[in-house]
Amino acid sequence: IQKDRITFVALVVIMMAGWSAYQNMPQNEDPGFIIRTAQVLTFFPGASPERVELLVTDKLEKAIQEIPELDFVNSVSRTGVSEVYVNILESETEMRPIWDRTRRKVERASRELPDGVVGPIVNDEFGDVFGTIVTLIGEGYSYAELKEVADQVRNELLRISDVAKVDIHGAQEERVFVEYNNARLAELGISAIQLKNILGARNILLPGGDINTGDERIVLEPSGNFESVEDLRRTIINTPGVSQLIYLEDVAHVYRGYIDPPRSKVRSSGAPALALGISLREGGNLIVLGQDVTQTISRLEARYPIGIEFDIIAFQPAVVEKKVNEFVSNLLQAIAIVIVVMLVSLGFRTGFVVSSLIPMTIMMSLWVMSIFEIGLDQMSLSALIISLGLLVDNAIVMSESILVRMGEGESGLDAAVASAQELRIPLLTASLTTAAAFLPIYLAESTVGEYTSPLFEVVTIALLCSWVLSLTMIPMLSARFMEGKSSAQVQSFQSGFYRGYRGFLQTALRHRLWSVVVTVAIFFFAMMGFGFVPSIFFPAKDQPTLTAEFELPIGAPIERTEAIARQLDAFVKQELTVQNGRAEGVTNWATFIGQGPPKFVLPFNSKATSPEYTMMLVNTSSYEAVHEVIPKLETFCLENFPDVKPDIRSLLNGPPVNSPIEIRISGEEEDGVFQIVDRVKDKLATLSGTKNISDNWGVRTKKLAVQINQA
């Protein structure tokens, strides 16, 4: 207080440190949590689900079950594909050694798998979030030409410093097809196997050695491999009994095409497209990333010819920027409200002193948060907003105590020092008690606890910063600006309000038993009132975005999935988009066929490649329009595609949840498990509010069994 110039310099340093931390702090929508699930993907082309389970899935599961940190393992065996999901106990926090051990177990088990198996592939990068999804549409362009443009765009985006990864979705793998006629081959006396061997023997790279001239060594590179489709067409075919040269094009139709059937496709607002998912590097600033991506896309749009169009389907930087702006707005509103209230109740000087605590505490909190590597996200911002109403209490108590002492005749310095000495422990206790209310969230050993832990961390930091400033800055400002305040200027405690309050306290103290009874009764009725409050731990995000997942029966070909997706696109375009005078509705959307979109928000789990699955990522004009679109889209699906299971919902907060209620049933006998499942599903169907009751086994599908007579 006596050397206030040094104190003011220290406060300015804290303010600058907080502002610098705010400018450089990582910004994201969600605080993040440890992903404790890995996928082991194995391909066994042509094998039925039973053979995949017996020969691949079961062997991998047995090896994975040896991991001591394992919580449970679940798998899906489909025609030609085995998906094994490894789920680790939530008490584990160091995942890298566990995933390395998982890879070693899987590698050991892979030696027992049958020939022809591709994999197994261990994917433990479920935590990568591609917060920005850009679709690339090219009217009149082939998939190969679109892919070439997408590769160029990806190279440009990877030059942005905050970009960690760019994935391309919906690209069609190119193939060269050789279609032959069996009758023509028989006429020439060669078989399909011989034709295959001829092509395989030609398309090889053989070392040609080198020539030493004495002065230099020259490498020989012989020709032989196919450089183009024309080279393949001009391949010479050796045919017995035919004297003339026969080329491959004489006996087969050779052309370039795409893999058939396709594994996945992407459509943007009803048009064929490719999708680029852009992820943020660790510690990066999502808002800065959004600005750089927007500038890059604008520059590329001007470079490419007419017909190449970009459409932003998911853009999390805008969501984060909105939340940060709302926080700044709340901060300014809080300062304004405190100033007005203090001016009315305590006068200009006290109002100025108390309100100064809020921006200083926020800046100091941001500085301390940067030291502990806590970024700005919806949890930390929510904690700061919660703290705005709590941290001002310390300043009010301190300034009021100093004001009362000064009114009793003490000097500003003595009143400030005495008040700080008297209140330092009570204010610390009050701050820690308030912070302890959030401690159970932090101590929860679960994914939810990790997700919500910034609430406790940031509230505690803000309250302790408020306590420090209340014992230093507030006494200094009070002594400087309130010095010489006479007792006549201090509000008298003999007004009508204070006399009434004093009488109420005296009555409560005289009837202590009744006071306790009334207090308990109020508490009891308050607890009863909780029954009328909707119970949901994580509310939905207030974003104008929804996800619509559609699952066809197992075994449905991707051609039927794509046909249904086209009908859904047409319905959305005709009935739900913002057009023809419709004020609210869908603005744009992307449809992912055969595979889910990249993980665009942390609570979303993307589905693996599956021909009977499609998903729409839909943006609407407002959050209210989401609740209008969902029932219409769901009704259209149920009325037109009764065998399709729709799952349409707005975006959720918190860790990913597939269904609000999930029941796991296991047993040794397959038929017995099915009987129990049917009884459970029938029981659930009788409950009000339930819908989309299904199981992850799926209905039984058809197959043709060919019984070969070996004799």
Residue 141 gets the label, from left (phi > 0), alpha (psi -120 to 50) or beta, of beta
Nearest to 60 by CA among 92, 86, 87, 78: 86
Amino acid at 351: G
* CA distance readout (Å), 472 to 8, 314, 469, 481, 485: 11, 47, 5, 14, 20
Neighbours of 683 (CB within 10 A): 10
What tokens appear for 532 in the block?
A: 């009328």
H or E element, residue 103: helix 96-110
CA separation for the pair 162, 179 (Å, rounded): 47
Amino acid at 509: L
CA separation for the pair 297, 310 (Å, rounded): 7
Amino acid at 304: Y
CA separation for the pair 630, 639 (Å, rounded): 14
* CA distance readout (Å), 58 to 63, 83, 555: 9, 11, 21
What tokens appear for 571 in the block?
A: 């319905």
pLDDT of residue 489: 46
pLDDT of residue 234: 79
CA separation for the pair 50, 52 (Å, rounded): 5
* CA distance readout (Å), 213 to 50, 208, 216: 63, 16, 6
**What pairs with residue 278 in β-bridges?**
132, 166
pTM (two decimals)? 0.76
Q: Are 630 and 547 in contact (CB under 8 A)?
A: no
Going from the first residue of the chain to its last (711 residues), give the mean pLDDT of each consecutive group of 10, the final group possibly shorter: 87 92 80 80 84 88 88 85 87 84 88 84 78 85 85 88 85 85 78 79 73 84 75 77 72 84 84 87 80 88 82 85 80 77 71 81 90 84 83 82 78 82 89 89 80 88 92 85 52 70 88 91 90 79 86 83 89 81 81 85 75 87 86 88 85 75 86 89 87 76 83 88
> Which residues are CB-contacts of 595 (< 8 A; sequence separation ≥ 6)?
169, 263, 264, 606, 607, 608, 609, 610, 613
Q: Are 613 and 551 in contact (CB under 8 A)?
A: yes
**What pairs with residue 496 in β-bridges?**
none
pLDDT of residue 490: 46
What tokens appear for 654 in the block?
A: 């918190």
Backbone angles phi, psi at 233, to 5 degrees: -65, -35
> Which residues are CB-contacts of 207 (< 8 A; sequence separation ≥ 6)?
none
H or E element, residue 372: none
pLDDT of residue 9: 92
Query: What distance lies between CA 679 and its chain's CA centroid?
Result: 35
Give helix 143-158 / helix 286-303 axis angle, nearest 10°.
130
CA separation for the pair 539, 536 (Å, rounded): 6
What tokens appear for 632 in the block?
A: 């219409």
CA separation for the pair 265, 341 (Å, rounded): 59
